[in-house]
């Protein structure tokens, strides 16, 4: 009985071991197959995801590059155009010399040779054009302008060291009255008379000295001459020599210009 029991028990143990071995072999194989399927699936998905991501990033960079190129081209185009025609600089010089052009003074090679009438008239026109006139007392249609302001604006145009003999400047078109008792001028608040407006034809520079070939346009409002896209037809040309001193300019000479107006050629024929 003991031997039979022992054999029976050994047989049962053997069967159990075989079942476990079979189960383990089957699980390992299935797990291996499942792992391989998952890996192959992940490998198939990853390249697609990476390709889509790279495409989107590349597209963004292309769009940004296109925007940057358009902006750069526009910026460079504006700068090149501005350098070629010097529009800003021409307008700056035209504004500076405009009060002198209105006076149409004769040529001079030194400010010490300027006529008294030219100095005063140019200074008054500089005040009329650019000064804040609200600060002056108004007497009917005339501004009361202290002579010291005339001297300051004269220095702005022609530099310091000028000798000014204050006096009334009278003409058929417009007059500036000097009142010695109050050391002031009476000047029209809104004069309608303009002789010439400046048109800067060309600019040449040597060091800090600029020679401006100035066309005299008659009679044209300042804003039209300085902002019009079309070149006007000047009656004559004059060369202005302007010296840069710091951040400002000073007119040092006026000379006859070699450039002739078209109407002068026609009249000469």
pLDDT at 221: 53
Distance CA 7, CA 55 (A): 73
Q: Return the structure tokens found at 134.
A: 């609200």
pLDDT at 191: 87
Q: Return the structure tokens found at 94.
A: 């035209």
Residue 153 CA neighbour count, 13 Å, CB half? 25
pLDDT at 119: 96
Q: What is the CATH number of domain 195-268?
A: 3.10.450
pLDDT at 232: 79
Distance CA 18, CA 180 (A): 135
pLDDT at 75: 52
pLDDT at 268: 47
Q: C-alpha 120: how far from its chain's center?
A: 34
Residues of the chain with pLDDT under 70: 1-50, 69, 71-85, 220-230, 263-269
| pTM exceeding 0.75 | no
């Amino acid at each position: 009985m003991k031997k039979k029991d022992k054999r029976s028990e050994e047989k049962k143990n053997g069967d159990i071991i075989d079942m476990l071995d079979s189960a383990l072999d089957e699980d390992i194989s299935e797990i291996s197959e499942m792992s391989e399927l998952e890996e192959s699936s992940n490998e198939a998905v990853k390249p697609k995801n990476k390709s889509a991501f790279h495409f989107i990033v590349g597209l963004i960079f292309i769009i940004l590059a296109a925007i940057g190129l358009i902006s750069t081209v526009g910026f460079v185009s504006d700068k090149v155009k501005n350098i070629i025609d010097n529009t800003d600089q021409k307008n700056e010089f035209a504004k500076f010399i405009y009060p002198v052009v209105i006076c149409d003074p004769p040529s001079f090679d030194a400010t010490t040779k300027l006529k008294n009438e030219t100095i005063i008239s140019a200074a008054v026109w500089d005040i009329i054009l650019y000064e804040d006139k609200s600060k002056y007392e108004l007497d009917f249609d005339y501004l009361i302008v202290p002579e010291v302001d005339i001297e300051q604006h004269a220095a702005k145009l022609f530099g310091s060291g000028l000798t000014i003999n204050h006096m009334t400047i009278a003409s058929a078109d417009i007059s500036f009255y000097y009142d010695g008792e109050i050391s002031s001028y009476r000047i029209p608040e809104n004069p309608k008379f303009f002789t010439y407006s400046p048109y800067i034809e060309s600019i040449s520079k040597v060091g800090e000295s600029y020679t401006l070939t100035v066309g005299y346009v008659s009679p044209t409002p300042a804003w039209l001459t300085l902002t019009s896209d079309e070149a006007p037809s000047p009656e004559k040309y004059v060369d202005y020599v302007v010296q840069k001193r710091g951040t400002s300019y000073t007119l040092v000479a006026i000379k006859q210009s070699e450039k002739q107006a078209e109407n002068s050629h026609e009249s000469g024929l």
